[in-house]
């Protein structure tokens, strides 16, 4: 990292861009003086300066990624030290790593070798932050923890589990909520309710304004009206938007034959199928933009309706069919994954008895009558319309009831 008063890479390239114009317009003698000046300012070798002046100064993406500087020993040490500090921010943690490592070593909590102390002394704040983001997903909450009396009562009788990756029977659905609050998650804004069937890859998406009971109920009703096969299990995370008295009552009425399960706390990979679709079918299209109006909610449901047809009937997906641990000669293990032949979720569904013959014929005719290339263009046109809509004015209030497909009866 650059020391105080030293240029970083971006500053150096900006300076070289300014000096390059002077260098090209100067005579031979003046060019030599300019090179001396650039060498002194940038602390670069003369040949490096000449090379940079003769090429584009735009920074290029890496073609070969750097190898990790800090290995598993540092990762393990950071886990223990961060826990001992009650998971304080990386800016506060990093300068205090060496002495805390020695302190923990004195009490038998950590095995310390000189090379570890040396690495902890030179590791940067950004590297510590990245390592902690990777290693802390399974760690417990910060102190003070919520007591049993404050726990969400609606989850008490809901079993925690993970739907097996090799589930073959359609109807086991992972559910999640994607936030579209932008950089500031304030006020009421749009969310995407997404559900993914583990066995077939069939996906459902609905945009809702806010995550209150009426919005969530309306989103589930839209899914139930459209999904072509039964919901045997509904598996969301532990969020209160899914588990509250109102929705529990709603699930008991509308999907009363379905099993309700939930992820284990702090195990993000328990909903791995829907999390992957959150990235590829929601964030890839919408990014991190803020959406917070009735018009934006309705405009987002338009491409979601088209994506329902495009991704379920036309987009082949590959499914993991085998996981084998291979034993290497050096004693380590390597996981080898094998995937089956890519097929659309609809074709996978039709290979089972989960869909009725009549509904299968209807969807077959719908696929036959649809131009997938034109459908793809229509999706992007609908997204362009969405992004052209303004966000809500500061201080204004949007009427969530205007987004509901099912009207609220007095």
Q: What is the CATH number of the domain that holds 220?
A: 3.30.420.10
Categorize the per-residue pLDDT at 152 as very low, low, confident or very high, splitting at 50, 70 and 90.
low
Give 246-256 pLDDT, tens digit per residue. Answer: 888 998 888 88
243 and 97 share one domain: no
10 CB-side CA count, 13 A: 0
Residues 165 and 233 in one domain: yes
Can you name the residues that pair with 206 across neighbouring β-strands?
A: 193
Greater confidence (136 vs 48) lies with 48
From CA 236, how far away is CA 217, in angstroms rounded?
14
pLDDT of 108 higher than 70: yes
- Asked whether the whole model's pTM tops 0.75, one would answer no
Condensed to tens digits (0 to 9), the pLDDT of residues 51-92 reads: 888 888 777 777 766 667 888 888 889 888 888 877 778 888
Which is nearest to 270 in space by CA: 138, 148, 134, 403?
138
Higher pLDDT, 201 or 157: 201
Burial of 314 (0-12, 13-18, 19+ CB in 10 A): middle
327, part of any domain: no
**Residue 214 DSSP symbol:** H
pLDDT of residue 325: 86
What tokens were used for 4? 């105080």
Place of tokens 């945009």: 207
* pLDDT tens-place string over residues 260-286: 999 887 777 889 999 999 999 999 999
With contact defined as beta carbons under 8 Å apart, do 111 and 105 qualify? Answer: yes
Tokens of 246: 């109102």
How confident is residue 136, by pLDDT bands cut at 50, 70 and 90? Answer: low
**Which structural domain, as residue segments, surrounds residue 15?**
9-53
Residue 252 and residue 303 in one domain:
yes
**Residues sharing a CB contact under 8 Å with residue 161, sequence separation 6 or more, in sequence order:** 235, 261, 264, 270
Question: Other CB atoms closer than 10 Å to residue 65's CB: what's the count?
Answer: 6
Say if 249 falls within a structural domain: yes
pLDDT band at 203 (very low <50, low <70, confident <90, very high): very high
Q: For residue 148, what pLDDT band results from cuts at 50, 70 and 90? A: very low
User: Are 175 and 195 contacting, i.e. CB atoms less than 8 angstroms apart?
Assistant: yes
| C-alpha pair distances (Å), 10 with each of 6, 39, 127, 245 | 12, 16, 20, 54
64 in any annotated domain: no
**Is position 63 within any domain?**
no
Number of structural domains (the chain) is 3
> Are 41 and 131 in the same domain?
no
Per-residue pLDDT, averaged over 382-389, amounts to: 96
Two structure tokens written together for 93: 């943690």
């Amino acid at each position: 990292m650059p020391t105080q008063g030293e240029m970083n890479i971006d500053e150096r390239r900006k300076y070289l861009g300014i000096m390059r114009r002077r260098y090209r317009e100067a005579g031979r003698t003046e060019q030599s003086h300019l090179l001396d000046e650039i060498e002194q300012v940038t602390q670069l070798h003369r040949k490096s300066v000449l090379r940079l002046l003769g090429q584009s100064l735009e920074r290029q993406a890496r073609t070969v990624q750097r190898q990790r500087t800090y290995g598993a020993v540092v990762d393990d040490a950071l886990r223990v030290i961060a826990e001992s500090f009650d998971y304080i921010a990386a800016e506060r943690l990093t300068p205090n790593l060496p002495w805390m490592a020695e302190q923990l070593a004195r009490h038998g909590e950590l095995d310390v070798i000189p090379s570890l102390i040396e690495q902890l002394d030179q590791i940067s704040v950004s590297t510590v932050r990245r390592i902690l983001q990777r290693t802390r997903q399974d760690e417990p909450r910060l102190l003070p923890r919520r007591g049993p009396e404050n726990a969400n009562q609606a989850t008490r009788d809901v079993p925690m589990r993970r739907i097996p990756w090799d589930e073959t029977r359609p109807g086991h659905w992972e559910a999640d909520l994607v936030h579209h609050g932008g950089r500031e998650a304030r006020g009421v804004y749009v969310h995407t309710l997404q559900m993914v069937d583990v066995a077939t890859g069939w996906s459902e998406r609905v945009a809702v304004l806010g995550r209150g009971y009426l919005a969530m109920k309306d989103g589930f009703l839209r899914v139930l009206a459209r999904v072509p096969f039964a919901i045997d299990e509904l598996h969301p995370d532990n969020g209160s938007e899914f588990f509250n008295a109102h929705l529990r009552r709603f699930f008991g009425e509308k999907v009363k034959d379905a099993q309700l399960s939930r992820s284990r706390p702090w195990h993000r990979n328990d909903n791995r199928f829907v999390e992957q679709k959150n990235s590829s079918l929601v964030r890839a299209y919408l990014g991190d933009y803020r959406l917070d109006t009735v018009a934006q909610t309705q405009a987002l449901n338009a491409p979601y309706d088209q994506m329902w047809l495009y991704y379920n009937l036309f987009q082949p997906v590959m499914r993991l069919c085998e996981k084998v641990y291979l034993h290497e000669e050096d004693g380590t293990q390597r996981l080898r994954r094998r995937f089956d032949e890519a097929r659309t979720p609809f074709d996978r569904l039709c290979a089972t008895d989960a869909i009725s013959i009549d509904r299968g014929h209807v969807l077959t005719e719908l696929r036959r009558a649809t131009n997938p290339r034109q459908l793809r263009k229509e999706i992007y046109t609908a997204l362009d319309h969405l992004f052209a809509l303004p966000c809500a004015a500061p201080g204004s209030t949007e009427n969530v009831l205007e987004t509901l497909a099912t009207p609220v009866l007095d």
